[in-house]
Every structure is written in structure tokens, then in C-alpha cells.
Structure 1
Amino acid sequence: MSESGESAAGVVAALQAMRSDAELVKVRKRLAPDEDAFGMRMRDLFDVARAHTDLPLDEVDRLLDHPAYEPRMAAMCILDFKARRRLDDAGRERLYARYLARHDRITTWDMVDRAAPRVVGGYLAGRPSGPLHELAVAADPLRRRTAVTAPLYFVRAGTGEDVAEGFAVAGRLAADPEPVVHNAVGIFLKYAGTRDPDVLRRFLDTYAPSMPRPALRLATEKLTPASR
């Protein structure tokens, strides 16, 4: 247990107290067949994570070591809740470094989506985007998803240069055959296009022929029918 009195064991106990066979059936649909899970409502998981936002990073690591989905998802939520706070650069770097160092414990797309924008994108905003391009060529599809999901933060709070880097990463992944990646490309483009529709149109002029249909459908969702 940490000096704050919070522990990974306490988080796991709180999660296990909310186990539900009915929810387990739903959770299993998005997990690998051999992945352990408790089964619980996501709203309850978020509430447990929010209540443990002060959990030290060493204890977050212990959650990430857990074999079940929910403790690891809670760890991602805690990183996200920490990143929403007013932090100095060193604090943001610690969250960012922990996310990347433990990426091997991320096993589902929703873990990426929960933490990558604020934890990774929030740190890299205004900084060189080389780490995103490195992730974009990783063998692991979930690392590639992180590469194009993190820039969603740029759309909301980054500079024009940040958003341009997000488009560059999306370009590298535009033809990715993995649904977990190309769907994320489409989601980034959909929201980036609301900030700069002209850049999205130019992007699509170049990449649309090679994009999987689901990604293209997402990317054009907010465009006018004439623009599509």
C-alpha cells in the first residue's frame, strides 16, 4: 500500500465487488477468447477509477500487471483522470512515459481510446511528433491505433502544426488493413475535418482511393453530401 493509503489491491477489490454475469457476457464480446474478465458496467468501472485518481503510478503498474481486463482498463482510466488535472511538464511526461512503457498490457481498443488522447496527445502537443510516427510503423495494431488516436487531443487543444502532424500520421495509416487501426484513422479524420474541412478534402483527394470503406465512411461523416 502507498503512503496515500490507496492501493491496487483496493481498486481490484472494488471492481470485483461489482461483478455481474450479465455484464460479463457483454464484455466478452470485445475481448480475446482467453482474456480474463470480471464482468461489470463500464460506468461503474469509471466511477471506481475516478475515486482512485490519486493512486500512485507504482500502484497503477500493479493494476496493469493484473491478468483481467477490468483492472487494466481502470489503470488506463486513472492515467486519463490524472492527465485532466493541472500538471507541470514533468508530471505529464511521467504519465506519457508510463503509458508507452506498459503498452504491452494494452489489449483492447477501448484502453487506447480512454487514455491516448490526453496522456499521449496532451504531452506531445507542441512537441516533435516523432514518437507518433514510430508508433505508426509498429507491428502491434494497438500501438498504431495509439499513433492516430493521440492526435485527437490536437484537434481540441493543439496548434495548427499539431493538427497537421495528426494528418501526417493518418496518411501513414490510411490504407492499414486492420480494422482496429483504420477505424481509428476514420475517427481522427472525422473530427480533424471539423476544424479544417479544406485540409480533410485535400487529404481525401490523395488517400481516399486506398482507404478501407469503413475508414472512408467515418472520415466523411461530417462533410456535406456535396463534399462527399
Structure 2
Amino acid sequence: MTQHLDGIQDALSNRHSPAERDKILRRLPPDSGLDAIGVRMKEVFDTAKEWTDIDVSHVPDLLAVPWYEMRMVGVSILDFKARRRGLDDDGRRRLYETYMNHHEFINVWDLVDRAAPRVVGWYLLDKSRRPLFELARSDAAIERRSAITASFWLIRQGDLDDALALAELLLDDPDELVTKPVGTALREVGKIDRQRLLDFLAEHRHRMSRPTLRLATYLLPSDVERSLRE
């Protein structure tokens, strides 16, 4: 291991709990190939904050380690770096490329959710969204999740067209790993432009699973929500 990996693993190991390890292992997908140290998420994030100044070139080493918390530190470092004021486009590109070029290690839903909006979505805000549509057509559900989750940042900036196009593309997805964040994306669209959401639901609600529709309509008035579910 490099000095950085050793330091981060030592910091996590000093915060481990056997009970927490059991909890993490129970919720990790069985096909993830990951083990757990057993560290509470707040302490994982605290560790990532302590190491955010490392060069982004070290993050792939973190992502390649088969410990869940080490990978979470890696994606959290990407996210914390993306939040920094004054980060230029080249800096955002390096974060984005680190995420995209090592997606095989970002293979659990919360690893995606931790970094995709700011690391992927923010970088693509003023660029072609083609990479998101390529992810949305991936054979890997986790990559399709990255596509719709990255769009959360576009929505937050009031940029709804591509987010809605991605949602429409993924409405029939067979995996809840994808359709649940589709519902969340639609809910967030409704915060910005309720009529755009209502128009989308009027056209597509019969294609939507109940969990997706429930998430999409969560913030709507109860009478409107009921009518859309009928």
C-alpha cells in the first residue's frame, strides 16, 4: 500500500466496530465483492474530510481496495473536492474522469449517490450530456443509476430537459436500483417546475412502477397525488 492508503486504512481501523461491520455486511449486495471494516458513516465521512487534500491521482487506489469504507472515502474525497470554491474546469475534469474511468469499483448504490451529482453532473452542466445517455444505455444497472443520479445536479440548476429525457429512457428499467432514483429525479423536477412534472406524469404514469410513481408524486398535494395513482 502507498502511504496514503496506509494512513486512511489505519484511521478507519481505529474507528471500527464489530457490530457496525455486521450491519454493513448485511446491506452490501452479495455480488459486490466487498468486505467491511465496520465504521459508522459519519466517521467515514470525517476520515474523507481529513484526507481531502490528497491529490486526485491517489483516489483510484482507494477505489480499487475491496473494503467498502475505503471506497466510500474515495468517492467522498471526490465529492468534497467538487464542492470547493474556485475549482476550475480542469480540476472538475480530473474528478469526473476519475469517477468515469473507475466505475467498475463504484459498484454499490450509495457509492454512486455520494459522488455522481457533483462530480459527474456538475462537470457536464455546461457540456454535452451524451455521456449520461451512454451510461443510461449501459448493461450495468449501477451505471444507469449514475446517469439519473448525476442529473440531480442539472435539475438543481433548473436544467430539466435532459433529466426528463433520461427519466423517460429509464422508466421501464427492470431494476429498482434505477427506477427509484428516477422517481427521486422526477420529484426534484416538481420542486423546480410542477407543471413540467405534471405533464410528464400525465403522459407516462402508466409506464411507471408504483414505487417510482410514489416517489415522483411525494411532494404533490394529496388530491393531485391520488388522482395520478388512480
Q: Into which bin does the TM-score normalised by the smaller protein fall?
A: over 0.9
Q: Give, in whole Å, the separation in 1 of the partners of 2:179 and 2:29.
A: 20
Q: What percent of counterpart residues are identical?
A: 44
Is 1:145 equivalent to 2:145 in the alignment? yes
Q: Give the aligned partner of residue 168 of structure 2.
A: 171
Q: Give the aligned partner of residue 228 of structure 2.
A: none
TM-score, normalised relative to structure 2: 0.92
Provide Cα deviations, 1:130-173, integer angstroms capped at 9, x if missing partner: 111000000111100010001111222x2x4x321111111100
Is 1:211 equivalent to 2:208 in the alignment? yes
Report the CA distance between 1:29 and its aligned residue: 2.4
Letter in 2 for 1:63: L
TM-score, normalised relative to structure 1: 0.93
Q: Give the aligned partner of residue 27 of structure 1.
A: 24
Q: Secondary structure at the match of 2:107?
A: coil
Q: Give, in whole Å, the separation in 1 of the partners of 2:39 and 2:90.
A: 34
Q: Give the aligned partner of residue 63 of structure 2.
A: 64
Q: Give, in whole Å, the separation in 1 of the partners of 2:25 and 2:202.
A: 39
Superposition map of 1:3-42 within 5 A: 7-33=4-30, 34-42=33-41
Q: Give the aligned partner of residue 131 of structure 1.
A: 131
Answer whether contact 1:30 1:108 (CA < 8 A) is retained: no
Q: Secondary structure at the match of 1:37?
A: coil
**More helix by proportion, 1 or 2?**
2
Superposition map of 1:44-123 within 5 A: 44-85=43-84, 86-123=86-123
Q: Secondary structure at the match of 2:27?
A: coil
- CA RMSD in angstroms comes to 1.4
Report the CA distance between 1:112 and its aligned residue: 0.5
Answer whether contact 1:148 1:188 (CA < 8 A) is retained: yes
Give structure 1 stretches of 5+ with no counterpart. none
Provide Cα deviations, 1:76-116, integer angstroms capped at 9, x if missing partner: 00000000012111110110011000000012100000000
Q: Give, in whole Å, the separation in 2 of the partners of 1:193 and 1:40.
A: 36
Q: Give, in whole Å, the separation in 1 of the partners of 2:9 and 2:203.
A: 48
Letter in 1 for 2:174: P
**How many equivalent residue pairs?**
222
Q: Give, in whole Å, the separation in 1 of the partners of 2:68 and 2:173.
A: 26
Give structure 2 stretches of 5+ with no counterpart. 226-230
Answer whether contact 1:193 1:200 (CA < 8 A) is retained: yes
